[in-house]
């Protein structure tokens, strides 16, 4: 079953004069991928002929199921062996948001996910990210490792100077309490990048 056929099953019905498979193919042509469709906002999908609140709700259910599946897997295996899974989860979680969101993934000593949390909203360069608050949350969850992430609604995944400076400051602060900052991921609808991939973390640590 290809992506269009799978999507047509989820949609169940088409629109006036169009079956579900044809509608699914048009959606994929417009948005580019299943992930982009599932992450699209109600406003974006309602602007597409054949999609209303009902079909958007169906897609949201699938989106929520996908997120819960990611969480289950991240709680079962260490994140260092699951970097693509982490990235896909973050894209699913915040990649579609139209404003910047800053999230933390709290990990145990085995590098398995304890929980994820949205900490702040707003640009890292415009909003002070409270390092003390993040440190407190790590203690509350007994987290020994941390991954931070935020989205770039513009789609440009390049880290800013503010992104890098924040990562350095947070790494140093958490090291004092024996919590290791493993990575900083930047995501959008189209994809994601991590500071480890860019070798920024190696220079920080």
Give the model confidence (pLDDT) of 87-119 as tens digits.
Answer: 988 988 888 888 899 999 999 999 999 999 998
pLDDT average, residue stretch 49-76? 84
Could you give the domains of the chain?
A: 3-66 (1.10.150.20), 93-204 (3.40.140.10)
Cα distance between the two ends of the chain: 45
Residue 59 has pLDDT above 70, yes or no: yes
Which pLDDT does position 193 carry in this prediction? Answer: 94
What does the block give as tokens for 169?
């400051």
- Per-residue pLDDT band at 65 (split at 50, 70, 90): confident
- Per-residue pLDDT band at 192 (split at 50, 70, 90): very high
What does the block give as tokens for 12?
């169940």
Which pLDDT does position 146 carry in this prediction? Answer: 97
| pTM: predicted TM-score of the whole model, two decimal places | 0.77
Using CA atoms, how far apart are residues 107 and 15, in angstroms rounded to an integer?
Answer: 45
Mean pLDDT of the residues in the chain: 87
Residue 18 has pLDDT above 90, yes or no: no
59-80 per-residue burial string, b: 16 or more CB within 10 A, e: under 16: beeebeebeeebbebbeeeebe
């Amino acid at each position: 079953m290809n992506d269009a056929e799978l999507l047509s099953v989820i949609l169940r019905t088409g629109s006036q004069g169009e079956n579900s498979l044809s509608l699914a193919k048009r959606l994929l042509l417009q948005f580019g991928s299943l992930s982009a469709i599932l992450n699209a906002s109600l406003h974006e999908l309602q602007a597409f002929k054949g999609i209303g609140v009902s079909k958007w709700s169906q897609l949201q259910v699938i989106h929520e199921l996908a997120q819960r599946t990611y969480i289950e897997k991240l709680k079962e295996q260490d994140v260092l062996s699951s970097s693509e899974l982490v990235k896909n989860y973050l894209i699913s979680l915040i990649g579609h948001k139209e404003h910047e969101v800053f999230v933390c993934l709290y990990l145990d000593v085995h590098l398995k996910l304890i929980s994820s949390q949205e900490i702040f909203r707003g640009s890292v360069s415009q909003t002070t990210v409270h390092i003390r608050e993040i440190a407190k949350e790590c203690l509350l969850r007994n987290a020994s490792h941390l991954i931070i992430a935020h989205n770039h609604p513009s789609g440009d995944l390049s880290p800013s100077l503010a992104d890098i400076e924040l990562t350095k400051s947070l790494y140093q602060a958490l090291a004092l309490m024996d919590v290791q900052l493993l990575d900083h991921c930047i995501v959008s609808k189209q994809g994601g990048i991590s500071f480890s991939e860019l070798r920024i973390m190696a220079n920080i640590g």
